[in-house]
Chain A
């Protein structure tokens, strides 16, 4: 999906997610709240794919940036009365970027399990801070009264979630565009080089550490924006945006969809959150069992995720159809 041999032009299939989203907007009006949540998690998953799928940085702490973004937007609105949506997004992005560069500069000197534990520690610390600073964050009760002024002064967040859905879709579109650019660029190719062989990247003169800090910060910024969106759409921030659980959920979504393929970040959240929503209604007590079974099935039978499986089927189909004429 990246590198010097691929054609970077957008193929028609790449518009499918956005066509589907618009179709869902018109056809499934009662699911717009779930839809907006899915769109936000796609953006969040895209940010994870940048570092995990392309640079090969494994993290269980990506919720730190998501949560910081959510609380930044929420506190600006609920405590400081700043209700402009874009100011909130910008502030959340800046906060997450700062945290990204500050923590990345320290933890990216480590590798593998150490790195994994450090990422987890950072989000756990933030969770505890949010829990204890209840005068600012609302603590365990959550942050109430997050208000967003009409977008551009025109579009009010309505009861049905129409504005919220389209707002999130627009944000996702911009995020997707930026990520796609990065992935197809020489920088993106360089990231796959780091993932494939760090020692060789050093040997060809790449400042690997700084490059990793840079992509980590970009990814953190995107995650922060996704967090701000969830605060704005829910008009509430709870402790569930921080800690292991949202990080783990996110990782599961991306693995489900397919890591390092850009569109795995689209497929994963759609399936995970839809299945979760459906199971939670059908079997309110056992829904996690269903999600777990789904993940085990995918990891066992489709290690490349659902998109990887799809690719394999397509290859098989092509081989068969190309074999047929020659057999005659």
Chain B
């Protein structure tokens, strides 16, 4: 069975700076996979290449065995590749419902329609509303996204991606900036995501990573250092060196 998402010898250089070096990576169907690594390891660059926001310098990206290296970002979304952003990227002044409805409408091909009022597209609204309800955001549907507390904004970030009904979901630090007391709420949401979605999570919150992921890849300076189940990673000497070494130098 082909992997949901796979890279082969993926490289990215910015001038003399190498941010991804021969990254071979497999995200299996229905996986709960985490990508970790110290700051500047190239995690977000890697995600941006997967989504098509950045073009790799060389190498291939495959989705369900199909080469999507040259496929545009919008087309990859249509194939079922969704993402969230490390830095909250919402439609800030629009109501929460619209934040999600825009994604649902885009998926359903309704976003091009110019005649019937958006407010009368009940199927879109209902689906967006149901999605918000599952994340506990139903009461905030009519509030502008920017007026909600940060923790809830992080949930909207996930809700928009879920509105696309992705088969593969890339979560770029979903708990970034959220105090640990509130990251529990995000973990609950992640735990309840449909099991057929393959999820790649990038996260600094190690507690969250080890509780959520069934498999972990460690990226250091653009290269895969080691990959394996959480137990192995937790006891891997090289991983300890990277993280502890970083602390000693800091």
Interface residues of A (CB under 8 A from B): 2-8, 181-182, 184-190, 192-193, 196-197, 199-208, 211
Q: Which of A5, A192, A197, A205 contacts B89 (CB 8 A)?
A: A197
The distance in angstroms between the C-alpha atoms of A278 and B90, with both chains bound, is 46
Query: Do the beta carbons of A185 and B94 come within 8 Å of each other?
Result: no
Q: Which of A182, A184, A192, A202 contacts B119 (CB 8 A)?
A: A184
Instruction: Report if A205-B107 is in contact (Cβ < 8 Å); known contacts: A188-B118, A197-B90.
Output: yes
Q: Which of B91, B110, B117 contacts A197 (CB 8 A)?
A: B91
Query: Do the beta carbons of A203 and B98 come within 8 Å of each other?
Result: no
Query: Do the beta carbons of B114 and A187 come within 8 Å of each other?
Result: yes
Q: List residues 112-171 of chain B with CB under 8 A from any CB of chain A.
A: 112-121, 124-125, 128, 141-142, 160-161, 163-164
Query: Do the beta carbons of B77 and A7 come within 8 Å of each other?
Result: no
Query: Do the beta carbons of A185 and B114 come within 8 Å of each other?
Result: yes
Nearest 3 CB-CB pairings of A with B: A205-B77, A8-B117, A196-B91
Bitwise interface map of B from 91 to 113 toward A, beta carbon under 8 Å scored 1, else 0? 11111011001110111001111
Min CB distance B213 to A, Å, is 23
Across the interface, name the chain A residue whose C-beta is closest to B52: A202
Across the interface, name the chain A residue whose C-beta is closest to B93: A196
Residue of A4, A6, A185, A196 with highest tally of chain B CB at under 10 A:
A4
Query: Do the beta carbons of A205 and B78 come within 8 Å of each other?
Result: yes
Query: Do the beta carbons of B74 and A186 come within 8 Å of each other?
Result: no
Instruction: Report if A189-B78 is in contact (Cβ < 8 Å); known contacts: A2-B118, A5-B119, A181-B114.
Output: no
Instruction: Report if A193-B102 is in contact (Cβ < 8 Å); known contacts: A204-B77, A204-B163.
Output: yes
Query: Do the beta carbons of A185 and B89 come within 8 Å of each other?
Result: no
Chain A residues in 8 Å Cβ range of B32:
none
The distance in angstroms between the C-alpha atoms of A192 and B90, with both chains bound, is 12
14 contacts between A and B (CB under 8 A): A4-B124, A5-B141, A7-B119, A186-B112, A188-B118, A192-B91, A199-B85, A199-B89, A200-B90, A200-B160, A202-B53, A203-B82, A203-B161, A206-B111
Min CB distance B68 to A, Å, is 13
Min CB distance B188 to A, Å, is 24
Query: Do the beta carbons of B119 and A6 come within 8 Å of each other?
Result: yes
- Residue B73 lies at the interface, judged by CB distance under 8 Å to chain A: yes
- Residue B83 lies at the interface, judged by CB distance under 8 Å to chain A: yes
The distance in angstroms between the C-alpha atoms of A188 and B97, with both chains bound, is 15
Query: Do the beta carbons of A189 and B102 come within 8 Å of each other?
Result: yes
Query: Do the beta carbons of A185 and B113 come within 8 Å of each other?
Result: yes
Interface residues of B (CB under 8 A from A): 51, 53, 73-78, 82-83, 85, 89-95, 97-98, 101-103, 105-107, 110-121, 124-125, 128, 141-142, 160-161, 163-164
Query: Do the beta carbons of A205 and B74 come within 8 Å of each other?
Result: yes
Chain A residues in 8 Å Cβ range of B118:
2-4, 6, 8, 184-186, 188-189
Chain B residues in 8 Å Cβ range of A187:
111-114
Query: Do the beta carbons of B112 and A193 come within 8 Å of each other?
Result: no
**How many A-B residue pairs lie within 8 Å, measured between CB atoms?**
129
Across the interface, name the chain B residue whose C-beta is closest to A178: B114
Query: Do the beta carbons of A204 and B106 come within 8 Å of each other?
Result: yes
Chain B residues in 8 Å Cβ range of A2:
118
Min CB distance A14 to B, Å, is 14
Chain B residues in 8 Å Cβ range of A188:
114, 118
Query: Do the beta carbons of A3 and B110 come within 8 Å of each other?
Result: no
Query: Do the beta carbons of A190 and B106 come within 8 Å of each other?
Result: yes
Query: Do the beta carbons of A204 and B94 come within 8 Å of each other?
Result: no
Chain B residues in 8 Å Cβ range of A207:
74
Query: Do the beta carbons of B128 and A4 come within 8 Å of each other?
Result: yes
Min CB distance B46 to A, Å, is 16
Chain B residues in 8 Å Cβ range of A206:
74, 106, 111
Query: Do the beta carbons of B94 and A193 come within 8 Å of each other?
Result: yes
Query: Do the beta carbons of B115 and A181 come within 8 Å of each other?
Result: yes
Min CB distance A9 to B, Å, is 9
Chain B residues in 8 Å Cβ range of A3:
94-95, 98, 101, 118-119
The distance in angstroms between the C-alpha atoms of A188 and B112, with both chains bound, is 9
Min CB distance B125 to A, Å, is 5
The distance in angstroms between the C-alpha atoms of A63 and B141, with both chains bound, is 40
Query: Do the beta carbons of B117 and A185 come within 8 Å of each other?
Result: yes
Q: Which of B91, B101, B112, B119 contacts A200 (CB 8 A)?
A: B91
Query: Do the beta carbons of A5 and B95 come within 8 Å of each other?
Result: yes
Instruction: Report if A197-B74 is in contact (Cβ < 8 Å); known contacts: A186-B113, A205-B107.
Output: no
Q: Which of A181, A182, A190 contacts B102 (CB 8 A)?
A: A190
Min CB distance A278 to B, Å, is 36
Chain B residues in 8 Å Cβ range of A193:
91, 94, 98, 102
Min CB distance A10 to B, Å, is 11
Chain B residues in 8 Å Cβ range of A199:
85, 89
Residue of B101, B111, B141 with highest tally of chain A CB at under 10 A:
B111
Min CB distance B112 to A, Å, is 6
Instruction: Report if A197-B106 is in contact (Cβ < 8 Å); known contacts: A203-B85, A204-B77.
Output: no
Q: Which of A6, A182, A185, A205 contacts B106 (CB 8 A)?
A: A205
